[in-house]
Amino acid sequence: MAVVSQSRVVQDSRIMMDSASGRGSILGEKRGGVAMADDTACNGNSRPRKHKNEGFGDFGKYMAEKKRKLSLQFQAEASDGVRSMMEDAKFHLTSDGKPPSNMDVANAAVVHRDLTGLFDGISIFVDGFTIPSHQELRELMLKHGGRFENYFSCDVVTHIICSTLPDSKIRDHRSFSRGLPVVKPSWIVDSISCGRVLPVSSYVHERIARDHPNQSTLLRFLDSTKEDSNNCLLKKDVHMKNQSHNVHNPLASSHTSSSKKDIEHSPVSKKGLICDSKISSAHGSGLESPSEYARSHCTLGDANFVQNYFKNSRLHFIGTWRTRYQNRFGTGRENQDQQHDGYSTSDNMFRTIMHVDMDCFFVSVAVRNRPELVGKPLAVCHSDKTKGTAEISSSNYTARAFGVKSGMFIRDAKALCPDLEVVPYDFEGYEQVADEFYDILHKHCKRVQAVSCDEAYVDVTGVEDPDFLASQIRKEINDLTKCTASVGIAGNLLMARIATKKAKPDGQFRIHPNQVEDFLSHMSIEDLPGVGWSLQERLNRKGIYDCKQLQAIPKEILQGDFGVKTGDMLWCYARGIDNRQVQNYQERKSIGAEVNWGVRFNSPSDAHHFLTSLCEEVSGRLQEAFLIGRTLTLKIKKRKEGAREPEKFMGCGSCDNLSKSITLGCATNDAQVMLRVTKQIFASFHLDIHNIRGMGLQVTKLEQNVSSVYTQGQQHQKVLEACLQFSPKGNLGKKLLDDESVHRSNATALSEIQDRDNLLHINHQHAIPSDKKQKSFKEKKRVESFGKIRKGPFSGLKQPFMSKEKERQNVSSLPHYSELDQSVLQSLPPEIIAELDNAYSGAVIQNLTSFKTHVTGKRFEEQESFPSIPLQNILSNTCNEKEDHFGVQSNLIQSLDPKQSVGRTQTSSFRDGNGEPDLSSLSLSQVDIATLEELPYDVREDILRSLKTHKSNALELVTEVVENSNESDKQELLLSGGSSGLLHCHQEAQLVGLWDGDPPKWIELSKNLQGAGAAFLQHISKAFYAHEHPESLSCILRDAMHLREFLMPMHLDQAWEESMSFRCCLELFKQYLLSKISDDLEEVYIILHTVKRLATEAIFWKRIVQILVPFIQESVKDIYGGGFSVMTTGYDEI
DNA sequence: ATCCTCCCCTAC
DNA sequence: TAAGGTAGGGGAGGAT
Ligand SMILES: Nc1ccn([C@H]2C[C@H](O)[C@@H](COP(=O)(O)OP(=O)(O)OP(=O)(O)O)O2)c(=O)n1
Ligand SMILES: [Mg+2]
Ligand SMILES: [Mg+2]
């Protein structure tokens, strides 16, 4: 089931069409454009400065340092009062807070010998995740006379370095390595240790060596041209680990913000914008093959283009900053009051809002320790070329006096200000200063809304002297970061923001309520936040230039002209009204990645490779956020007809934007699933790949990925199996078999499973690839899901049951695709779909797409992209079963919700119409809790999982269930993690009553555990015994903390979230905290904060917190009522 | 009315 | 030579 919507061709309004953008008006009002049209840049005496590559590549080091600091800081707080231990801890730390790394070893060797020329003539390109890291390898190479290439070019690079090689990488290297040796990083480390360059032979990756023995030119050609490259995408074993999510390093600037303001402030008058002569004369294809240099810096020359690009993109840095911030400081959602949305929602309360923004942030960071630059006009930019098209990221106030602004091309900036000095990017510096900045803000107030890495709103309502607080904060920022910040203070976010503008640089400004009107009446509309290039144009066209004029327009008119909300916004803002609240936390609604620079393809396989990178990138980000999503949107920038190679180097130029989306029946974060869908969308465009200038992938309809922890993993599998196989009288079987009619809902819920059985036991075994041993965790999960489904003993109920005999017969061959019930297919979890899809080489997803497309009456324009199997086959084949399937399901719905007869829940709507059996289309409110709670846990779990659950929805529902449960059920349900009832499993049974006995049961249990949490458990076991009479977990924890660095699982295997040790840790805390909630809330508080601190350092703990906090919060709510928050902030306040 | 998709706009 | 990303708000228009 997939919805495919039709694409539309859209004009790009954001990225300026080079200098030609001035023509935007031709295209109507949605033109954003800027551009200094003047090509004849002044040839000022710029002092060329070698900055390139100096500022980046070291982000990891900052992160390590940050980690170390956090460690120490944590230590100080966690062991508070235990000074001597703290000293101990410090003593144990190495310089970077970790055990000595390979690099340390290598460095140690250097001390003894002069190896500065060791790697003379050797130039490496590092591919993917390595140990030592990319950055460390770079340093090692540079230090020892070698070269380090950020981009792959077979002309320069002599060795490719990489650690682990997923299949996909092998393929990449075949086409990209051009016969160069692909060696392990230890070759470098060992060579340094030995003081000579060791032969690569023992460091070569065998698989590449085997697959790819010194490829001849001919072979290479064949390899890269065979449409085999297409297939290879299907087979890629996607490993996310070497993604670039943690990377943040880079530079860049965009034309983006140049939109309105640049026009306004540009020395070139608005009407004076000049057409790009190249464009106006363009008649040819507009396609020029990139120069050798360009080639090596675009998608054509770099197998890891996406990753490398992001490492250097400033916009990527600021765009992804928020995620890193939340990972460090937590979501802060605990502090969220109830929301006031909208600009005009009435809110009587008088507030005091502070807006804090660093002055010319990137420049300030660069200048921190370079006093010699003070006073000069400065800009942060990748390039210092007088004719360059690199963008200015930030300029200082001296340079701004010349008109130099963010987003401007360097050549234009140089034209305005020939003395402009360029300083390089320093992404780790920005990250560090931002951390310090927020540390200070958090220290003063817990209601902080992070706008960006250099900017935040703070609600300081109730503070007696906000001006003093502002000066205090500014001083602290300046002292700590050596950068200046400005502060605006007012009664709402809008006015505070405006006040900051007035305050800059290095100042503060307060707008009292009675000054608002005065202040605004003199203000141009484009200075209103929210009014960009487009709105400004539209307003100007109506003769409106300042707020006073805007105020004269009745709200209804504005709403008619600009839309209800926008009109409201304009009306309110013109009067200084803004009732938005300071929001600590905002739930993420989409995750995406796009690249619109350096994108050039020569063959479909280039494009497919790029799509693969995008999918891996997005999949990785989803996984890091523990999210899955249902809708994939592919966005493509296509060279506009007649547009030439852009003026901006490797830019996308003037483009049409195409976009199309597909909604899956089941949310996913699997790169392979995403890739198939994405490739399908891509194919449907039928583009000449030469015209593609940019692509992006976005995932929406996000849900929390609970399945990775409980529902679809091994545990759940075992529960079901145990229940079905060994306990026919257990909940599940009993209710069903004993009393069908009474427990109809049970049966119907199970019918879903059963239907899957019908579908899957035909093929579940052959669907499992033979090379299981190298299969990923996900693969394993799928395998087990199949196992679960085939075990169903309820086959006699309604559907024909396939005997074990027949089952076996079918092992060797796939049933014809048309034998599969499409409607059942749709309701399968993504893992299973992916598995089936693999077995049918992509036909499943393709057909799900068409199925839904047909059913909803939408059509693809591009028929060819559609499956070869006639729709009738699918429908006719499934007709009978569908009746049952849907009928049964609708029974479930009805029984769940006897009161409501919402259209969707009616039987008929399931039978006819779109035939969508998707439980997820139900809203939670349609589910009758009373019925639900009668279900056995397993069934309940299935239903909950089927329901559309984003974030805490599932939890809320479960909480409701819990509230209505009897005490023992409640305890059990709670213990099992909120949304899963897994305690029947014998393994799970071990996790019950972890604190029973003396010593508590977990001590014994932890002895036999391995994996992520085992080290932690064993350490606190020791701490437990070290205490004569341990009175609380918090004191055990505190004493164990000085060994904290050993408690941080560094290498999590893929199944860590389901490992016994992880679950044991989780249960340990859950059960303990539960027992403390009623009589020792302080203990609960301390524990949660301690764990939350650990969470800043390791994903293991982050996950613990993610599960633990909402869970405990709910329980606290049960006992103390709402409004009682266990967590105040992510960083200790109070 | 309300939802959904496909955009555009805005901000950093 | 260069690194034009990311996410939310919201409007138009169609389906229900
Ligand atoms: N088009 C843009 C806008 C901003 N930034 C980066 C560089 C800025 O330093 C940082 C913060 O953006 P601000 O809007 O706060 O601008 P500055 O801090 O540079 O200047 P100001 O003093 O006006 O705040 O984001 C960028 O790279 N490109
Ligand atoms: Mg700033
Ligand atoms: Mg800012």
pLDDT of residue A145: 86
pLDDT of residue A339: 52
Span CA (A491) to C1' (C10), Å: 25
Ligand 1 atom closest to the Cα of residue A258 is: 1
Confidence of residue A414 (pLDDT cuts 50, 70, 90): very high
Q: Using CA atoms in the order A298, A301, A303, A305, what is the torsion angle rounded to 10 degrees?
A: -20
Q: Cα–Cα distance between A980 and A1042 in angstroms, integer?
A: 35
A144 has a pLDDT exceeding 60? yes
Name the percent of chain A lying above pLDDT 90.
33
Answer with the residue of higher pLDDT: A184 or A477. A477
Ligand 1 atom closest to the Cα of residue A500 is: 24
Query: How close is the Cα of A729 to the center of ligand 3, in Å?
Result: 63
3-state secondary structure labels for all residues of A19-47: HHHHHHHHHCCCCCCCCCCCCCCCCCCCC
Confidence of residue A93 (pLDDT cuts 50, 70, 90): very low
Task: Find the ligand nearest to A457 CA.
Answer: 3
| CB of A528 closer than 8 Å to CB of A261 | no
Catalytic: which of A136, A421, A428, A455?
A455
A291 is near strand C: CB distance < 7 Å: yes
State the amino acid at position A931 in one-letter form: T
Q: What is the mean pLDDT of residues A183-190?
A: 82
A652 has a pLDDT exceeding 70? yes
Q: How many helices (H) and strands (E) does chain A have?
A: 48, 18
pLDDT of residue A249: 38
A195 has a pLDDT exceeding 80? yes
A455 is an active site residue? yes
A156 is near strand C: CB distance < 7 Å: no
A570 is near strand C: CB distance < 7 Å: no
Query: How close is the Cα of A501 to the center of ligand 2, in Å?
Result: 10
Confidence of residue A1054 (pLDDT cuts 50, 70, 90): low
Span CA (A407) to C1' (B2), Å: 40
Q: What is the mean pLDDT of residues A381-410?
A: 98
pLDDT of residue A279: 31
Which position has the token pair 């931002």? Answer: A434
Nearest residue (CA) to ligand 1, atom 17 = A360
A453 is near strand C: CB distance < 7 Å: no
| CA A477 to the chain's CA centroid | 30
A321 is near strand C: CB distance < 7 Å: no
pLDDT of residue A934: 27
Residues flanking ligand 1, CB < 6 Å: A 253-254, 256-257, 314, 318, 357-362, 393-394, 406-407, 454-455, 504-505
A977 is near strand C: CB distance < 7 Å: no
**Nucleotide nearest A559 (Cα, C1'):** C11
Q: Would you state the structure tokens that stand for residue A259, as one six-digit string?
A: 């939109």
Q: What is the mean pLDDT of residues A534-551?
A: 97
Query: How close is the Cα of A861 to the center of ligand 1, in Å?
Result: 43
Residues A585-634 pLDDT 10s:
999 999 999 999 999 999 999 999 999 999 999 999 999 999 999 999 99
Report the protein residue whose CA lies nearest the C1' of nucleotide C8.
Answer: A589
Task: Count Cβ neighbours within 10 Å for each residue of A518-546 and write b for 16 or more, e otherwise.
Answer: ebbeebebbbbeebbbbbbbebeeeebeb
pLDDT of residue A1121: 61
Q: Residues A1098-1104: contacts with CB within 8 Å, 24+ apart?
A: A1098/A1048, A1098/A1049, A1098/A1050, A1099/A624, A1099/A1052, A1100/A1012, A1100/A1013, A1100/A1048, A1100/A1049, A1100/A1052, A1100/A1056, A1100/A1062, A1101/A1048, A1102/A327, A1103/A626, A1103/A709, A1103/A1057, A1103/A1062, A1104/A1062, A1104/A1065, A1104/A1066, A1104/A1069
Answer with the residue of higher pLDDT: A1045 or A575. A575
Residues A835-883 pLDDT 10s:
455 445 455 655 554 333 332 222 222 222 222 222 222 222 222 222 2
A381 has a pLDDT exceeding 50? yes
Span CA (A30) to C1' (B9), Å: 9
A91 has a pLDDT exceeding 70? no
Task: Find the ligand nearest to A365 CA.
Answer: 1
Span CA (A648) to C1' (C2), Å: 9
Q: Is A814 exposed, middle or buried (0-12, 13-18, 19+ CB in 10 A)?
A: middle
Query: How close is the Cα of A359 to the center of ligand 3, in Å?
Result: 8
ipTM greater than 0.85, yes or no? yes
Report the protein residue whose CA lies nearest the C1' of nucleotide C7.
Answer: A590
Classified as helix, coil or strand, A324 is: helix
User: Considering chain A, what is the average pLDDT of its residues?
Assistant: 63
Q: Cα–Cα distance between A1134 and A1123 in angstroms, integer?
A: 17
Confidence of residue A501 (pLDDT cuts 50, 70, 90): very high
Q: What is the rounded radius of gyration, in angstroms, for the C-alpha atoms of chain A? A: 31
A518 has a pLDDT exceeding 90? yes
A687 has a pLDDT exceeding 80? yes
pLDDT of residue A64: 54
Please report which helix (H) or strand (E) contains residue A784, including its range.
helix A777-790
A424 has a pLDDT exceeding 50? yes
pLDDT of residue A24: 30
Answer with the residue of higher pLDDT: A912 or A260. A260
**Nucleotide nearest A913 (Cα, C1'):** C16
Confidence of residue A1020 (pLDDT cuts 50, 70, 90): confident
Span CA (A647) to C1' (B8), Å: 24
A355 has a pLDDT exceeding 90? yes
Q: What share of chain A is helix, strand, coil (3-state, %, to 5)?
A: 50, 10, 40
| CA A218 to the chain's CA centroid | 41
A600 is near strand C: CB distance < 7 Å: no
Span CA (A921) to C1' (B4), Å: 13
pLDDT of residue A1010: 78
A981 has a pLDDT exceeding 50? no
**Candidate of A315, A358, A361, A380 to mutate for ligand 1, largest count of ligand atoms within 8 Å of Cβ:** A361
A318 has a pLDDT exceeding 80? yes
A147 has a pLDDT exceeding 90? no
Q: Cα–Cα distance between A684 and A699 in angstroms, integer?
A: 18
Q: Would you state the structure tokens that stand for residue A528, as one six-digit string?
A: 């209103």
Confidence of residue A649 (pLDDT cuts 50, 70, 90): very high
Task: Find the ligand nearest to A501 CA.
Answer: 1
Query: How close is the Cα of A536 to the center of ligand 1, in Å?
Result: 21
pLDDT of residue A1013: 79
Ligand 1 atom closest to the Cα of residue A256 is: 1
A587 is near strand C: CB distance < 7 Å: yes
A115 has a pLDDT exceeding 50? yes
Residue A603 neighbours by CB under 8 Å, 6+ apart: A224, A225, A229, A689
A637 is near strand C: CB distance < 7 Å: no
pLDDT of residue A483: 98
For strand B, the positions having any atom within 7 A of a protein Cβ are: 4-12
Q: Cα–Cα distance between A844 and A752 in angstroms, integer?
A: 19
**Candidate of A260, A367, A378, A394 to mutate for ligand 1, largest count of ligand atoms within 8 Å of Cβ:** A394
Nearest residue (CA) to ligand 1, atom 27 = A393
Backbone angles phi, psi at A147, to 5 degrees: -115, 155
Residues A358-379 pLDDT 10s:
999 999 999 999 999 999 999 9
Answer with the residue of higher pLDDT: A28 or A293. A293
**DSSP state string for A164-187:** ---HHHHHHHHHHSTT--EE-THH
pLDDT of residue A842: 55
Task: Find the ligand nearest to A408 CA.
Answer: 1
Classified as helix, coil or strand, A616 is: helix
Query: How close is the Cα of A496 to the center of ligand 1, in Å?
Result: 18
| CA A836 to the chain's CA centroid | 27
Please report which helix (H) or strand (E) contains residue A667, including its range.
strand A655-668
Query: How close is the Cα of A474 to the center of ligand 2, in Å?
Result: 13
What's the Cα-to-Cα distance from A851 to each of A682, A855, A856, A866, rounded to whole Å?
19, 6, 9, 10
Q: Cα–Cα distance between A107 and A970 in angstroms, integer?
A: 57
Q: Is A109 exposed, middle or buried (0-12, 13-18, 19+ CB in 10 A)?
A: middle
* Alpha-carbon torsion (A871, A873, A879, A881), positive or negative: negative
Which position has the token pair 């609970």? Answer: A706
pLDDT of residue A52: 28
DSSP type of residue A391: B
A442 has a pLDDT exceeding 60? yes
Nearest residue (CA) to ligand 1, atom 6 = A393
Per this entry, what is the length of chain A? 1134
Span CA (A570) to C1' (C11), Å: 15
